[in-house]
Amino acid sequence: MKQRLFLAGATGSIGQSALDILRNMSDKFQLVGFSAHRNLLIAKKIINEFKPEFAIFTHEETYKQIKREKYSDTKLLFGIKEACKIIQNENIDIVLNSIVGGAGLIITHYAVENVKRLALANKESLVIAGDIIIKKAKENECEILPVDSEHNAVFQALSGETNEKIRKIWLTASGGPFLHTKKEDFCKITLSQALKHPNWDMGSKITIDSATMMNKGLEVIEAHHLFEVGYEKIYVVIHPESVIHSMVEFVDGNFIAQLGKTDMRGPIQYSLTYPERERSVNHDFDLFEISKYHLIRPDFERFPCLLLAYKAGRSGLLSCNILNAANEAAVYLFLNKKIHFTSIPKIVSDMLEKSDLRCPTNIDEIIAIHDEIKKKAIEHGEKEYSW
């Protein structure tokens, strides 16, 4: 019997990679429904090719445009709450959440309450609500399979092991496009330069996060929740070649590393087929293509976002919420050419220092605080750092 799958964020880079896997494994998975935001062209192609039962649009104008067309096999719906209803009521086996940012939290929340497997690419869900999400997943016996290549690598490396055997988790980072840029030259970084990642083909938001190394900081917090280890055991190592996706160092001094191509289809497929391994749509990987591998200590002075993430993680849920919301706001301003690249960590730091909010205790409060901080951070960034 085919596994019934709901794909949240189908038109993004992760969503498109996931659809490649579904094409190759049409005998194993059925795309029951998907959500999309503004990319009407790709959404139409998905409907025509996969003929899902449901297509949900979270951007009102996009929904109005597609409603003018007739799709006999697919019901068109508007709003993220409709996606939640499908997850809740349509016997979904797997939810793959690839929505970018804090907006993906509600999907994660409904998934861990209603399905048996969540393939999670939306790291922000665990950054801003990790304690609650992990607790709910355990209560409802929902497996969370990480899609991020680093966490997927750690998950594979830990196969058959217990947390007590972990000495350190080593999350690898490419270092982004500015690994060798001098600190005094960061003020000259342009948007086009920041959007050119040396190894990975990703969406604009995560590409900027990789350039500031905030992405790795968010992944540190994600790893803390996923693998239930303290921050003192989670290390970041720069690995420019991006061949080693992450490593686990065990108490006996041995390391297990997972290697592979810089192709997200690998970890996505593993998160869907686990514990089985199936033939991949990935091309073969030639280990001899890269003759040297480098491992470099991260520079917290040049990449302060990484340090901010460690500090927020150790401070707890509220600080993580502020960190993520402020970063989303700062990246939004940078992508719209309203602030300099170097203003991103400044805005995040400012918001962490200014906050006098009480710690949220449930998902609704987390979402409300995240939205409030994001709005305030945009206003603060425009006022203090616009150029």
Binding positions for Mn(2+): 148, 150, 219
CA-CA distance, 208 to 210, in Å (whole number)? 5
Amino acid at 116: K
Q: Which of 349, 103, 122 is nearest to 218 (CA)?
A: 122
Helix axes 105-114, 124-139, angle to 10 degrees: 10
Annotated binding site for NADPH: 11-14, 38-39, 122, 124, 203
As a three-state string, the secondary structure of 8-66 is ECCCCHHHHHHHHHHHHCCCCEEEEEEEECCCHHHHHHHHHHHCCCEEEECCHHHHHHH
CA-CA distance, 341 to 265, in Å (whole number)? 30
Using an 8 Å Cβ cutoff, are 16 and 27 in contact? no
Annotated binding site for 1-deoxy-D-xylulose 5-phosphate: 123, 149-150, 174, 197, 210, 215-216, 219
Using an 8 Å Cβ cutoff, are 240 and 173 in contact? no
Helix axes 317-335, 343-354, angle to 10 degrees: 150
Residue with tokens 């040396």: 198
Annotated binding site: 11-14, 38-39, 122-124, 148-150, 174, 197, 203, 210, 215-216, 219
What values do phi and psi take at 170, rounded to 5?
-110, 105
CA-CA distance, 111 to 114, in Å (whole number)? 5
